[in-house]
Amino acid sequence: MTAAEIFDQGYRRFDGERAGIVSSVRSVVWYTTKSMLGIGRKGRHKVFPVIIAMIAFLPTVIIFGIVALFGDVSNGIRPDYYEFLGPSESFGFLIFAHFLYAVAVAPEAIVRDRRDGMVALYMSTPLTRWTYLIAKTVAVAGTMAIVVLGPALLLLLGYTIQGQGPDGFGDWFLVFAKLLLGGLIIVITYCGVSLGISSLTDRRAFASVAVLLVLLGGSIVAGTLVEELEMSSKYLVFDPLGSPFESAIRLFGDTSNGPAGAVSDLSVTVGVIGWILAGFGVLVGRYRKLSVI
């Protein structure tokens, strides 16, 4: 048996730079983003992000190319739902991509950490429960914003290049700002609902199914109450899919066709705020009680 020698005892003081809580949050945001997008992971983890990106960007890239190459001729080529600017066309046409992201990708942000026992490890760092949740929310919202805002801003750029966009810098900036705000409403609502529901389980499949049931089921129930049972259109505020979209397009003075268009601006706003508070309320409540030891 080889004899062992001990040359030093105890712990050594860390001599490196202490970047603080901001750096810790930034690191969690970055590694969570990589995890959700499948960067550095096996190919199967990249399937959903790639599919969603194609659904979100491919139609817009085609329209962008038509507008950029053919200019005024594109008026007779591009589909009617891409008439400028029509936020309902910029956001609503791609609502399936937003929904799919909330169901298939966003739950990965927090479910994996609890399944692998990483939450306790994070809590041993300068991170607290609240800064941890802030980092996770930023990661989900940031990546979802690419899917929600990317196509809309790309379309705006295409029209602007051909001089078919808003007149003057002031009008252009106003449309740009409204697109950002509308996209933010959609992102925060879907983000809150997805993370809130995902916080109730440590199984990704269960989380995705639960998010699907709440988003799609809530939309179906609200639609049934109004259209089939002929109840007041105000019950459409219980639609978690349609409410943020309706709120976004009303920034442009537009409304959806059908019963949703009859809902007051105040009711739509209250509905969106309600879904945001409900989603993040469940998330915060869950992590307040979560044991990390």
Query: Given this model, what pLDDT does residue 78 score?
Result: 46
Q: Do 237 and 262 meet the contact criterion of CB atoms below 8 Å apart?
A: no
Burial class of residue 6 in the structure, from the number of CB atoms within 10 Å of its CB (0-12 exposed, 13-18 middle, 19+ buried): exposed
For 248-265, give the secondary structure using H, E and C.
HHHHHCCCCCCHHHHCCH
Is residue 164 very low, low, confident or very high in pLDDT (cuts 50, 70, 90)? low
Helix (H) or strand (E) holding 37: helix 21-37
Whole-number pLDDT of residue 135: 93
Least reliable range by pLDDT among 10-19, 232-241, 247-256: 10-19
Q: Which of 117-121, 138-142, 280-284 has the lowest mean pLDDT?
A: 117-121
Distance CA 80, CA 210 (A): 35
Burial class (CB in 10 A: 0-12, 13-18, 19+), 250: buried
Tell me: pLDDT of 245 over 80: yes
- Report, as an integer, the average pLDDT of 64-93: 55
Query: For residue 6, what pLDDT band results from cuts at 50, 70 and 90?
Result: low
How far, in whole angstroms, is CA 212 from its chain's centroid?
A: 14
